[in-house]
Amino acid sequence: MSFTQERIERFLAAHHPFDALSADLIADCARAATQRTVTAGETIYAAGDTLPGLFLVLRGAVELTTPDGTAISVRHTGEIFARRGLTGDGTAPDTAKAREHCDLLILPVADFRRMLDASDQFRAFFERIRVRVAAARNGRGDGELTTLPVRALMTAQPVTVPSGTAVRDAARVMSERHISCVLVAEPEGALEGILTTGDLTGRVLARGLPPETPVREVMTRTPLNLSPDALGFDAFLTMAERHIGHLPVTEDGRPVGIITRTNLVNRQTVSSIYMVSEIARAETVGRLAETVGAIPQLLAQLVGGGAEPHVVTRLVTDVGDAVTRRLLVMAERELGPAPRPWLWLACGSQGRREQTGVSDQDNCLILDDAATEADDDYFAAFAKFVSDGLDACGYYYCPGEMMATNPRWRQPVRVWRQYFDGWIRKPDPMAQMLASVMFDLRPIAGTRALFDGLQAETLARARANSIFVAHMISNSLKHTPPLGLFRGFALIRSGEHKDTVDLKLNGVVPVVDLGRIYALIGALEPVNTRERLIAAREAGVLSDSGAHDLLDAYDLIAGIRLEHQARQVREGRKPDNFMAPATLSELERGHLKDAFMVIKTMQSALAHSRGAPG
């Protein structure tokens, strides 16, 4: 597909770091850039090649791998790649290959360097990247570790004992809790010392002291400690230079956490890249579950490191995709090759690449039209193997059975066409609900061609049916922001989640629903909510100001939701979507109310402009 210069300018203005450039420089970039279309599996460039310029993904997904074939990352719509080579010697340090059909934009080297000279903000973006890479190569750990705050790395709520505790009792606490140290402090008091398993060996057993010896006589007094706001690199450096394995974290003198070598090692190994690599090598469901169990920690670390909400959810979803693909491989290894071509698709939050620390599974199978009833025995077992594996890994079964294990969602292409055609022709409440879910379908693995034509023709038919669109709009407006009278929060009034707001159902979901409607009106193919809003702006379905306000509102709510979940993870609790506004500052509450008001305004505008039925 060829993009006009005007469309390219709008696209660049909507994506970082090009949004840091002036309108004139953006126009210069659009004129200088060349477009390239690549097919799935095609190599864009290989490691060692001379790079023609900076690449931007206009549509599709590109996988970057090391020269030995290890996956590094995936670049999606609106993301750049080849920057490392251009800020180095101009040769590619990795290999780029299209994961699916892609439209790419290439800004030539000379023009890229001209933009660096012309814009301090544009140059600063690439300078930050260069400094991080250099830090990692100079032995300072990975770049994220050096900039993460200690609060994102520490174990919160450390175990403490009073200074008069007998060493025998302190040892028993360490044994029962499976920990290697206790901090010494009175309840709610200041940190007095630390006692480690090494102290028990060297200061108690080796000296023959009785088990009744008070902790105060053998502890390390006034140990080195850090603030939660110190950098991870500070902890790394302090522990390395002082040859210590435990570092208390204090706030106003009181212990609030403990950081150990294990925390730092885990931080270096818990990354989406590492997890995907481990998943690809896993031979059992148990091993997959063990790796996936680190997702809450990954989420907390990404949020603590300042990653943008859409980056966090994209990386968390990448792990879910990798688990699904590995289970599909395991299923064929267990059951033998499939009798017919198939395509496994995700819907819901995984389909939109918006998974967080709380996710069920929503999936389906599209089969080749040559599939017969006799083939379904295989595909039923195939789907069960994968869904059972996902459940074992923490992606619990969909309460509404929106899974490939349900025969209804495991059908040949011709049946899927009938489904969509029926929902569009007769948009009753059930059809609206099912269509909403199925418009978020995204292929995960299998024969992609089974879906390509189906998606495009369904969007075209749906868009052309004004009654269906009106009913879909009406259905999308059922989820409303939690605003009460006089712009106060409408809190949950009773039950387990009393005095909270549901940041998913009443915060994120209303924007997801709006994005889906805009995509339907414009027959736009993206399924990710942010990408839908941007595409709607580019297609003229959504005004520039409306898109800007809605994107800001969505990012704010998604960010607060992720910070809430990350805080729960750090406190050792299971993450959820229910946040008490009282935990926010007055300024944050004001911003959140403004974001909810933007959504409410956009919902009202859509209802009036499109005539949604009541």
Q: Is-cis flag, bond preceding 93, omega within 30?
A: no
Q: Does the pLDDT of residue 437 top 60, yes or no?
A: yes
Lowest mean pLDDT among 236-240, 467-471, 550-554: 236-240
Lowest mean pLDDT among 8-22, 198-212, 341-355: 8-22
Element containing residue 445 per DSSP (H, E): strand 442-446
Residue 265 confidence (pLDDT): 61
> pLDDT by residue (tens digit) across 95-127?
899 988 999 999 999 999 999 888 877 876 676
Token match 């570092």: residue?
247
The DSSP result for 40-81, as a single string, is TT-EEE-TTPBP-EEEEEEESEEEEE-TT--EEEEEETT-EE
pLDDT category, 177, cuts 50, 70, 90?
Answer: confident
User: Could you tell me if 290 and 422 lie in one domain?
Assistant: yes
Instruction: Let me know how long the chain is.
Output: 614
Question: How many whole angstroms separate alpha carbon 17 and alpha carbon 25?
Answer: 12
Residue 76 confidence (pLDDT): 78
User: Could you tell me if 485 and 392 lie in one domain?
Assistant: no
Residue 460 within any structural domain of the chain: no
User: Could you tell me if 293 and 261 lie in one domain?
Assistant: no
Residue 142 confidence (pLDDT): 36
Alpha-helix residue ranges (DSSP H) falling in 398-528: 413-425, 429-438, 449-464, 466-476, 509-522
Question: How many whole angstroms separate alpha carbon 451 and alpha carbon 416?
Answer: 10
Longest Cα–Cα distance in the chain: 86
User: Could you tell me if 297 and 393 lie in one domain?
Assistant: yes
160 three-class SS? strand
User: Could you tell me if 279 and 428 lie in one domain?
Assistant: yes
491 three-class SS? coil
> pLDDT by residue (tens digit) across 251-309?
989 999 999 877 776 665 567 767 877 888 888 999 999 999 989 988 888 887 777 88
Residue 145 confidence (pLDDT): 57
Parent domain of 229: 150-267
Indicate the residue among 267, 290, 323 that finishes a domain. Answer: 267
Q: Which residues contact 248 (CB under 8 A, 6 or more apart)?
A: 158, 183, 191, 194, 223, 224, 225, 226, 255, 257, 258
Tell me how crowded residue 213 is: count the other CB atoms within 10 A of its CB: 16
User: How many domains in the chain?
Assistant: 4
Residue 19 within any structural domain of the chain: yes
559, two tokens: 């960010």
Q: Does the pLDDT of residue 20 top 80, yes or no?
A: no
pLDDT category, 174, cuts 50, 70, 90?
Answer: very high
> pLDDT by residue (tens digit) across 477-532?
888 999 876 668 889 989 899 999 999 999 999 999 999 999 999 888 899 999 99
Residue 68 confidence (pLDDT): 59
Token match 């990354």: residue?
271
Question: How many whole angstroms separate alpha carbon 448 and alpha carbon 450?
Answer: 5
* Cβ–Cβ < 8 Å for 129, 81: no
User: Could you tell me if 325 and 429 lie in one domain?
Assistant: yes
Burial of 409 (0-12, 13-18, 19+ CB in 10 A): buried
Residue 466 within any structural domain of the chain: no
Question: How many whole angstroms separate alpha carbon 550 and alpha carbon 27?
Answer: 25
| Residue 158 main-chain phi, psi, to 5 deg | -65, 155
User: Could you tell me if 311 and 399 lie in one domain?
Assistant: yes
Q: Does the pLDDT of residue 71 top 70, yes or no?
A: no
Q: Which CATH number goes with the domain that contains 62? A: 2.60.120.10
* Cβ–Cβ < 8 Å for 223, 191: yes
Indicate the residue among 406, 433, 450 that finishes a domain. Answer: 450
Residue 139 confidence (pLDDT): 35
User: Could you tell me if 411 and 277 lie in one domain?
Assistant: yes
- Over range 36-62, report the average pLDDT: 92
pLDDT category, 147, cuts 50, 70, 90?
Answer: low
465 three-class SS? coil
Q: Between the CA of residue 156 and those of 238, 259, 296, 529, 569, what are the distances in Å?
A: 19, 9, 14, 34, 9
Q: Which CATH number goes with the domain that contains 438? A: 3.30.460.10
Residue 172 confidence (pLDDT): 95
DSSP 497: T
Indicate the residue among 226, 244, 267 that finishes a domain. Answer: 267
Lowest mean pLDDT among 138-142, 318-322, 385-389, 551-555: 138-142
| Residue 483 main-chain phi, psi, to 5 deg | -110, 135
| Residue 91 main-chain phi, psi, to 5 deg | -110, 150
Residue 131 confidence (pLDDT): 40
> pLDDT by residue (tens digit) across 557-612?
999 999 999 999 888 888 999 999 989 888 888 889 999 999 999 998 888 876 54
Residue 367 confidence (pLDDT): 96
Residue 436 within any structural domain of the chain: yes
User: Could you tell me if 173 and 93 lie in one domain?
Assistant: no
Residue 470 within any structural domain of the chain: no
User: Could you tell me if 296 and 259 lie in one domain?
Assistant: no
Proportion of the chain above pLDDT 70, given as a percent: 90
Residue 540 within any structural domain of the chain: yes
pTM of structure: 0.63
User: Could you tell me if 589 and 547 lie in one domain?
Assistant: yes
- Over range 423-439, report the average pLDDT: 84
Lowest mean pLDDT among 138-142, 260-264, 424-428, 454-458: 138-142
Sign of CA dihedral 583, 584, 589, 593: negative
Nearest to residue 442, comparing CAs of 359, 324, 524, 345? Answer: 345
Q: Which CATH number goes with the domain that contains 238? A: 3.10.580.10
Element containing residue 83 per DSSP (H, E): helix 83-86
Residue 486 confidence (pLDDT): 60
Question: How many whole angstroms separate alpha carbon 485 and alpha carbon 48?
Answer: 62
Nearest to residue 230, comparing CAs of 256, 262, 193? Answer: 256
pLDDT category, 368, cuts 50, 70, 90?
Answer: very high
321 three-class SS? helix
DSSP 226: B
* Cβ–Cβ < 8 Å for 273, 257: no
Residue 197 within any structural domain of the chain: yes
User: Could you tell me if 424 and 503 lie in one domain?
Assistant: no
Residue 50 confidence (pLDDT): 92
pLDDT mean across residues, the chain: 86
Q: Does the pLDDT of residue 241 top 70, yes or no?
A: no
Residue 469 within any structural domain of the chain: no
Residue 121 confidence (pLDDT): 72
